[in-house]
C-alpha cells in the first residue's frame, strides 16, 4: 500500500479578500497536520502545471483564455461575488488541476494505490464557462475525463461528500455516460442545486440531499444502504473523491454536524469498495472545509485512513 500526497506551494500564493473563508491558512493547517511522524511513509510529490489541453478536456478554450487573461499582475479581481484572483491564482489553479491528473497517472500506473491532492482553489463549483463558489476549474471532472480519454477507462465514479452540492462537476459530466457522479450534500444550502430529480442524460448523476442537523448517524445509514451499494454495483475502474470537510460540526458555513470519526468511517468504506471493485484505486482531492482545526483534523484522519487501507 502506497499513498501519494500531492501538494504545491502555489496554493499559498492564491490570495482571497480579508476575512474570506477560503484562505491560505487552510493549506497551512493541513500541511502542519500532515507533517506529523505518522505520515512519514507517504509518497510526496509537487503538483505539476496543467496544460491548455488538460483544461479543455472539460472547459471551452474561450473560458480558459478569459480566466487567464483576467489574472491580475497586482492586486485582486473578482470573478463572481465570492471568487477572486490574485497574481498567484493562475498558477495555483493550474497546479490544482495538474496535481489531480498526475495523481490519476500514479494510481493507474500502480506507482501508488491511492492519493490525496491538497489543493486550493477548490474545483467542484466551477461550471463549464463560469467560475463560482471559490472555484475556477473543475479539477475532479477534468481528472475523470483524463482517465477516460487518455487511459482508456470505461467507468469512472466520482463521490462528492462536500457539504455543498458539486454543481460544477455535475454540469461538466452531465452527458458523460462513462461516469457516475454521486453527491451527498446539505439541502437547502448554496448553490441550491442537487435535487434528486437531477439525474444526467444517462442517469449517471445521483444526488442525495441531507437535512440540516441530520448528523453522522444518518449519513452512515444513507451511505450504507443507498450510496455504497450503487457505487459497488457500478463497479468503477477508478474512484475519484471530492473531499470537502465542511460537513464537520465545527464548520461555520453549514450544519450537517459530522464528527472527525465520521470522515474516518466514510474513508474506510470508500477504500473497502475500491478494494473490492478496482484494486483500491482512489484519488481524493481537497474541496471545502473552513474551520481550520476541524479541517486539519479531518483531512489528517482521511489521509491516515487512506494509508491504512
Q: Which residues are catalytic?
A: 125
Q: Is 24 exposed, middle or buried (0-12, 13-18, 19+ CB in 10 A)?
A: middle
Q: How far is CA 186 from CA 119, 159, 164, 227, 243, in A?
A: 23, 15, 6, 15, 15
Q: Could you give the count of Cα atoms lying within 13 Å of 236 in the half-sphere of its Cβ?
A: 32
Amino acid at each position: 500500500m502506497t499513498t501519494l500526497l500531492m501538494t504545491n506551494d502555489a496554493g499559498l500564493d492564491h490570495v482571497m479578500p480579508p476575512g474570506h473563508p477560503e484562505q491560505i491558512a487552510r493549506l497551512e493547517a493541513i500541511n502542519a497536520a500532515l507533517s506529523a511522524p505518522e505520515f512519514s511513509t507517504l509518497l510526496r510529490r509537487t503538483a505539476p502545471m496543467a496544460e491548455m489541453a488538460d483544461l479543455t478536456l472539460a472547459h471551452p478554450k474561450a473560458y480558459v483564455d478569459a480566466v487567464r487573461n483576467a489574472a491580475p499582475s497586482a492586486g485582486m479581481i473578482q470573478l463572481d461575488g465570492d471568487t477572486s484572483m490574485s497574481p498567484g491564482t493562475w498558477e495555483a489553479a493550474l497546479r490544482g488541476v495538474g496535481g489531480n491528473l498526475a495523481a490519476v497517472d500514479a494510481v493507474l500506473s500502480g506507482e501508488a494505490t491511492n492519493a490525496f491532492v491538497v489543493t486550493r482553489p477548490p474545483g467542484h463549483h466551477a461550471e463549464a464557462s463560469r467560475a463560482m463558489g471559490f472555484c475556477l476549474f473543475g479539477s475532479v471532472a477534468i481528472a475523470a475525463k483524463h482517465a477516460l480519454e487518455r487511459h482508456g477507462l470505461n467507468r469512472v465514479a466520482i463521490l462528492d461528500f462536500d457539504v455543498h452540492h458539486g454543481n460544477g462537476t455535475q454540469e461538466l459530466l452531465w452527458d458523460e455516460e462513462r461516469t457516475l457522479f454521486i453527491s451527498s450534500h446539505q439541502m437547502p444550502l448554496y448553490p441550491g442545486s442537487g435535487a434528486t430529480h437531477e439525474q444526467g442524460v444517462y442517469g449517471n448523476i445521483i444526488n442525495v440531499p441531507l437535512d440540516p442537523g441530520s448528523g453522522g448517524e444518518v449519513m452512515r445509514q444513507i451511505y450504507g444502504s443507498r450510496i455504497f451499494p450503487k457505487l459497488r454495483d457500478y463497479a468503477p475502474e477508478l474512484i475519484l473523491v471530492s473531499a470537502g470537510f465542511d460537513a464537520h460540526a465545527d464548520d461555520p458555513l453549514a450544519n450537517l454536524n459530522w464528527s472527525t470519526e465520521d470522515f474516518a468511517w466514510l474513508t474506510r468504506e470508500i477504500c473497502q469498495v475500491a478494494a473490492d471493485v478496482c484494486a483500491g484505486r482512489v484519488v481524493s482531492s481537497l474541496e471545502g472545509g473552513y474551520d481550520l482545526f476541524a479541517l486539519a483534523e479531518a483531512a489528517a484522519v482521511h489521509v491516515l485512513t487512506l494509508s491504512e487501507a
